[in-house]
Amino acid sequence: MDAGPGRQLDGCERVSWFGGATVYDRGHTLEAAARARRRGRRRKAVELYRRVLAVEPGNTDIERRVAPLLAETKRPDEAWKAYRHAADALARKGFVDQAIGIYREAAGYLPGKVELWQALSELEVERGRKRDAVTTLLEGRRHLRGRKRRREAIALLERGRRIDARHFETSFELAGLLRRDGMRYRARRLLFELAGWTSGAELRRVRLRLLRMQPTPVSAWRWLRSLFGRR
């Protein structure tokens, strides 16, 4: 049935008095999108929010509303694009902590997105929180499991070492991944570097891993010495 003049359509558009053309109604569109979201009609909510974005490209608030809906409807690449646009816009305006909050929300939906962890760590560095940046990369690495994602995990940890070369867990995890990826020489060199400045329980972990990689009398002796707090 055709709508009469001025009649509301689907709670988001109104028909004009001139030729039946539709006129965009922002308030009704947002209201309809929120209602669809509350009722679990995620795809409908996405469609409605995108009507607003078509008129208001770059609207950070709307991008943030639509991003989790895209993730929940199994569209991770589109969700990441929406989250990234929202976070980048806030960061450019100087709202770095808010941008970090958006990326943290995104991590709950898209933990396997490497670019997310990289972007989040860069913002932490910008805020002068280098240790948090490294911890973020280490957290991201733990979501990248299996051989197919090993190189991506290595890249995150190497980035972490460039930020703070003396973060023990980052270097220790990196050595383990390098060994599993066939780069045993690089792994041993990194572990020897760690052995040069660690002590206590950390040193014992390093010496034990070196012993397992190269079970020689020298490695065994060094491991035994570490048990007694000696290098």
Are 202 and 169 in contact by the 8 Å Cβ rule? The answer is no
Which residue has tokens 């290098």?
Answer: 231
Instruction: Report the predicted TM-score, pTM, of the whole model to 2 decimal places.
Output: 0.83
What pLDDT, on the 0 to 100 scale, is given for residue 9? Answer: 39
Task: Give the DSSP letter of residue 14.
Answer: E
pLDDT tens across the length of the chain (231 residues):
334 333 343 444 443 434 445 567 899 999 999 999 999 999 999 999 999 999 998 899 999 999 999 999 999 999 999 999 999 999 999 999 999 999 999 999 999 999 999 999 999 999 999 999 999 999 999 999 999 999 999 999 999 999 999 999 999 999 999 999 999 999 999 999 999 999 999 999 999 999 999 999 999 999 999 999 887
What pLDDT, on the 0 to 100 scale, is given for residue 22? Answer: 56
Rounded CA-CA distance 159/176 in Å is: 16
Helix (H) or strand (E) holding 9: strand 8-9
Sign of the CA dihedral running 146, 82, 121, 99: negative
Two structure tokens written together for 187: 């792994």
The dihedral over CA atoms of 26, 29, 31, 35, expressed in degrees to the nearest 10, equals: -170
Which residue has tokens 């400045």?
Answer: 197
| C-alpha count within 13 angstroms, C-beta hemisphere, residue 145 | 3
Q: How far is CA 192 from the centre of its chain?
A: 31
